[in-house]
Amino acid sequence: MKKLRLHRTALTVGLVSLLLLAMAVPAAAVKPVDPGKLQRLTWYAVPSGNSDVVSTDELPGHVSINTPAGEVTMIINGRITLDPNTTYGVWVRELTGYTGDYLTSYAPLSYYKLTTFTTNVRGQGSFHINIARGDLPDGTRDIQIAINPSLDDAYVGSTVAATVKFTPVRTG
């Protein structure tokens, strides 16, 4: 009987360890979508204001990322519902090597504020970003899109909505 309990305990510990290991695998291990394929991402609430801590609470809307061939290497389109009549900044994380236009940046996370949008009276807003091929080196990067209130172009603010971290996107 004692031996059976010992085996059950060892089995339980082993299963729990495997579960924890599976949960610890970073999202970066996901295979990137090939260039030219559309990725549709979900918005999540960020109650902490920190884009590293994205909740599981989905928000209305989505982000589409496409990496076509030609002069444009990445197209990012987004729709979201937030507070009405409010201006927000769109931040793209992990644009290492980016040389195009931007409103402001946060170098430690390779975040670039690329555009702003203003929601309507119902809180609905949308944005469109084209990144030129000459402004971003080809390669695979782990993208995250974040939305922060935007008092002006240089304002950083706290994140209110974001996609999950480390969505692999391949350009080139």
CA 75 to CA 156: how far, in whole Å? 23
Tell me the pTM. Answer: 0.80
CATH class label, 31-171: mainly beta
CB atoms within 10 A of CB 165: 18
Task: For 36-74, give the DSSP string.
Answer: T--EEEEEEE-TTS-TTS--S-EEEEEEEEE--SSSEEE
Per-block average pLDDT, block size 10, for the chain (172 residues)? 46 37 36 72 97 96 94 97 98 94 91 98 99 95 96 94 94 86
Return the pLDDT at 35: 62
CA 51 to CA 36: how far, in whole Å? 27
Say if CB 150 and CB 41 are below 8 A apart.
Answer: no
The SS3 of residue 10 is helix
Return the pLDDT at 72: 95
Q: Domain residue spans in the chain?
A: 31-171
